[in-house]
Amino acid sequence: MMPILERLRKAPRELILFSAISLIYGIGTSMSDSVFNNFIDSRFDLSGFQRSFLEFPRELPGVLVVFAAALLSFLCSRRLSVISMLLGAVGACLIGFASANYTLMVAWLFIYSLGQHLFMPLASTIGMELAREGQTGKRLGQFNAIRNLATILGSFIILLGFHYLGFTFQHAYILIVLAFLVSAVAMLSMKPDTDKTPRTFLKLKKEYSLYYALVIISGARKQIFITFAPWVLVKVFAQPTQTMATLFTIGGVIGILFQPLLGKAIDRFGERTILAGEAVILVFVCFGYGFAEILLPGGNAAFLLVCICFLVDQMLFSVSMARNTYIKKIALKPADIQTTLTAGVSIDHVFSISAALLGGLIWSEFGYQYVFLMGAVIAVINFFTALKIRMPKTT
């Protein structure tokens, strides 16, 4: 305990502040994720189309975030983060207290999601700014571990509040808004970035073409985890909500330990090795998802295999750190880091939405196994793309 306290006393002010911000903001996001589906279920009598349509306003800001960042390009990354947190606070407040009808709720959801997606690349940019030379992966791993802890704490607050403290949805949304506002105030107290180089968000550079390719593959790959992996557990193995909540909690606990180790591994072995290794593991994960029932017929073995695949897949999601550290190492100038990461979020979401639609059609027409065959093919493409990574020579 004493060595930890000693290290905290010696840590730079900005690092301590951003660590606290990551924790508080992550708790707010976790609380929002925990209550949103139950909130809309209790408030609106949604048809199947209306519920599926909600994914469009939730994901569209990910496509448009590059344009929002361009409009606010006169702000440094830390001040832009304040705007993103305020957008999240306003959106959450309107969802919780001004959703008189479905249409209004969709509009408020768009505002909330825009704030969330705007902060995604900024979190990585600021995290890398606060890293020592040669320890970028380690630092991002530490921040991701903090966000995992925040996910667990946010879910626990909601569980405790609704089961024992008589919470309503309004109580939950008050806490969510407060978390985002506190984060915004803390971020405002951080020193502005020192880099004053003009930034162009809407221009793609050929020097970063391999990064864009990795992002495209990542966008398609992530739907395997976000959409179809849970759907296998729910639809194929008929698992209740408690099972999903348990798996996410276990994954969060594992992530607290795993992500700092992953960050150190990126620094030690390099982005090429880590991204190629992720691709190899993902091939086996996809076959586990798709063919567990065939490989292990009868009993609970197939279900347990899918659960293991789910947890491994959840950990592999953190490998996105390697793409972020890669762009930092090859950036022609520091100002390119944030702009390229922001463009990456937009590119990711275009292909993420496309993969979700294509995967849904494949599932309906041919069966769920073929969705995961598609995932395995994506992983193979990812492997050979990762092998093309070459770092610039340092002098």
| Closest-CA residue to 353 (of 244, 230, 229, 226) | 226
What per-residue confidence (pLDDT) applies to 395?
45
CA dist list (Å): 44 to 59, 60, 315, 367:
21, 22, 34, 31
Q: Which CATH superfamily is domain 7-189 in?
A: MFS general substrate transporter like domains (1.20.1250.20)
Please answer whether residues 325 and 266 qualify as being in contact, where contact means their C-beta atoms are separated by less than 8 angstroms. Answer: yes
What per-residue confidence (pLDDT) applies to 2?
41
Q: What whole-number distance in Å separates Cα of residue 343 and Cα of residue 64? A: 9
Domain range 203-395, CATH architecture = Up-down Bundle (1.20)
What per-residue confidence (pLDDT) applies to 64?
80
Domain chopping of the chain, boundaries: 7-189, 203-395
Q: What whole-number distance in Å separates Cα of residue 289 and Cα of residue 48? A: 25
What one-character DSSP code corresponds to residue 194? Answer: S
Please answer whether residues 2 and 111 qualify as being in contact, where contact means their C-beta atoms are separated by less than 8 angstroms. Answer: no
What per-residue confidence (pLDDT) applies to 179?
96
Q: What whole-number distance in Å separates Cα of residue 263 and Cα of residue 194? A: 25
Backbone Cα Rg of the chain:
21
Cβ atoms within 10 Å of 132's Cβ, excluding its own: 8
What per-residue confidence (pLDDT) applies to 244?
67
Tokens standing for residue 343: 């463009």
Q: At residue 361, what is the residue type? A: L
Q: What whole-number distance in Å separates Cα of residue 311 and Cα of residue 252? A: 9
Same fold for the pair 7-189 and 203-395: yes
Divide the 395 residues of the chain into consecutive groups of 10 and give the mean pLDDT of each group. 53 83 91 79 66 68 77 79 93 91 88 89 79 72 82 82 83 94 92 60 77 88 77 77 70 81 87 93 92 83 91 86 86 79 80 79 85 92 92 62
> Residue 189: phi, psi to the nearest 5?
-80, -10
Element containing residue 106 per DSSP (H, E): helix 102-129
Please answer whether residues 391 and 328 qualify as being in contact, where contact means their C-beta atoms are separated by less than 8 angstroms. Answer: no
Q: What whole-number distance in Å separates Cα of residue 156 and Cα of residue 179? A: 15
